[in-house]
C-alpha cells in the first residue's frame, strides 16, 4: 500500500487565498500589510528563502521589502535598522533570516524585534506565550505542520507524536503545539539511544534534523503519519528531505513530500501572521 500524500503546496495556496479576504478588508480601512525581511551575508540558501518569501508576499497582496547587509555588518548597525523598522507604521511584520553570521548574537537581534511585529514568532515573549498556552505569534514551520495534520484529519489526542530534532524554531515549539492537542510527545536528538526503537513507537513522526534521508522504512510504524521538515541540498543540487520518501511511503499511511510539503506552509503561515499583525495594529 502506498501512503496518502499530504500536499503542502496545495494547502499553502488555500491558506494564502484565505488571506486575500482579510487583506481586502484591511484595504477598505486604508491599510496594506507590509513585511520587512532582514538578510545578512551571502549564504545562497538564505538568499533564496528570503526572495521566495518576498515573492509569496507580493503574490498574496502583502507589500515586502528586503533589507540586505554584508557578512561583516556590526550588531549595532543591524539593531539600528531593527529599531527603524519597529517604528515604521508601514511595516507590520519583521523577519530576520537565520542563521546570522557568527560575530552577531542572534538572540540579541531577535529580542530587538518588537513582539507585535515578530511574525516569525522567535521573540522570547512569543515563545513564552506559546509555552503558557496564550495567543502570540507561532513560528511558521510548526504552525504549518499542525495545519497539515489537521487538514489530513490525523487524530492527535492520546497518540504518540515523536519529533526528531530539538531546534528552537521547529522541534521545541512543535512539541508544545502537539501537547496542546493532547498528544504524548517525545523529542529525539543526537544523543538519543536507539533512535529507530523510539521512532517505531510513533503514530505521528516528524523529522526536523537536517540529515538527508535519515528516516528509512525500518524506523517507521506501519500506518504512521510522517511529516518531513528537512530541506537538505544534495551534491547534485537537488533538494532532499530528512525522510527516505520512496521506502517510507510503502509503510506509512500518510506522508508529506520535499519539496512541496512543509516549506510552502512555513511561508503561508508567516504571511498569515503578517496579516494578523496588520489587523492588530489598527485594533
186 forms part of the interface with ligand GUN (CB under 6 A): no
With cell 531546534, the residue in question is 167
Cell 506509512 belongs to which residue? Answer: 252
Kindly tell me which residue out of 8, 61, 93, 140 binds ligand GUN, with binding defined by CB under 6 A.
140
Q: How far is the CB of 98 from ligand GUN (least distance, A)?
A: 4
Helix (H) or strand (E) holding 142: helix 140-151
Three cell numbers, residue 25: 478588508
Q: Determine how many CB atoms are found less than 10 A away from the CB of residue 168.
A: 14
Q: Is 71 known to be catalytic?
A: no
Site for ligand GUN contains 98 (CB under 6 A): yes
Looking at the Cβ atoms of 210 and 217, the one nearer to ligand GUN is: 210
Residue whose C-beta lies closest to ligand GUN: 98
Residue given cell 501512503 in the structure block: 3
Q: Is residue 112 part of the contact set for ligand GUN (CB under 6 A)?
A: no
Among 266, 269, 276, 277, binds ligand GUN (CB under 6 A): 266
Q: Give the number of other CB atoms < 10 A from CB of residue 133.
A: 9
**Stretch of 19-27, 90-98, 152-160, 216-224 contacting ligand GUN, by CB under 6 A:** 90-98
Q: Is 53 a catalytic residue?
A: yes
User: How many angstroms separate the CA atoms of 203 and 207, rounded?
Assistant: 13
Which is the catalytic residue, given 118, 120, 228, 244? 120
Contact flag: residue 120 with ligand GUN (CB under 6 A):
yes
Catalytic residue, chosen from 97, 118, 159, 242, is: 97
By the 8 A CB rule, do 186 and 163 touch?
A: yes
Encode burial over 196-210: b for 16+ CB neighbours within 10 A, e otherwise. eebbbebbbbbbbbe
As annotated, the active-site residues are: 53, 97, 120
- Interaction site with ligand GUN (CB under 6 A): 95-98, 120, 140-141, 169, 266
Amino acid at each position: 500500500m502506498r501512503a496518502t500524500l499530504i500536499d503542502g503546496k496545495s494547502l499553502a495556496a488555500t491558506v494564502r487565498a484565505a488571506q486575500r479576504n482579510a487583506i481586502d478588508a484591511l484595504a477598505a480601512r486604508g491599510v496594506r500589510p507590509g513585511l520587512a525581511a532582514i538578510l545578512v551575508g551571502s549564504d545562497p540558501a538564505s538568499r533564496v528563502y528570503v526572495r521566495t518569501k518576498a515573492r509569496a508576499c507580493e503574490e498574496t497582496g502583502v507589500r515586502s521589502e528586503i533589507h540586505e547587509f554584508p557578512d561583516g555588518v556590526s550588531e549595532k548597525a543591524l539593531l539600528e535598522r531593527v529599531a527603524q523598522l519597529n517604528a515604521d507604521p508601514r511595516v507590520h511584520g519583521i523577519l530576520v533570516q537565520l542563521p546570522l553570521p557568527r560575530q552577531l548574537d542572534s538572540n540579541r537581534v531577535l529580542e530587538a524585534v518588537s513582539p507585535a511585529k515578530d511574525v516569525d514568532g522567535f521573540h522570547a515573549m512569543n515563545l513564552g506565550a506559546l509555552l503558557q498556552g496564550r495567543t502570540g505569534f507561532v513560528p511558521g514551520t510548526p504552525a504549518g505542520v499542525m495545519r497539515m495534520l489537521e487538514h489530513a484529519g490525523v487524530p492527535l489526542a492520546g497518540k504518540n507524536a515523536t519529533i526528531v530534532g530539538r531546534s528552537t524554531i521547529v522541534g521545541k515549539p512543535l512539541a508544545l503545539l502537539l501537547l496542546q492537542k493532547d498528544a504524548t510527545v517525545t523529542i529525539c536528538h543526537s544523543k538519543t539511544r536507539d533512535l529507530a526503537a523510539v521512532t517505531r513507537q510513533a503514530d505521528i513522526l516528524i523529522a526536523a534534523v537536517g540529515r538527508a534521508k535519515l528516516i528509512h522504512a525500518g524506523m517507521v510504524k506501519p500506518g504512521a503519519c510522517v511529516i518531513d521538515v528537512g530541506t537538505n541540498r544534495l551534491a547534485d543540487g537537488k533538494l532532499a528531505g530528512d525522510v527516505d520518501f520512496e521506502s517510507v511511503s510503502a509503510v506509512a499511511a500518510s506522508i508529506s513530500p520535499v519539496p512541496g510539503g512543509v516549506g510552502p506552509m512555513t511561508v503561508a503561515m508567516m504571511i498569515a501572521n503578517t496579516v494578523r499583525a496588520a489587523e492588530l495594529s489598527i485594533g
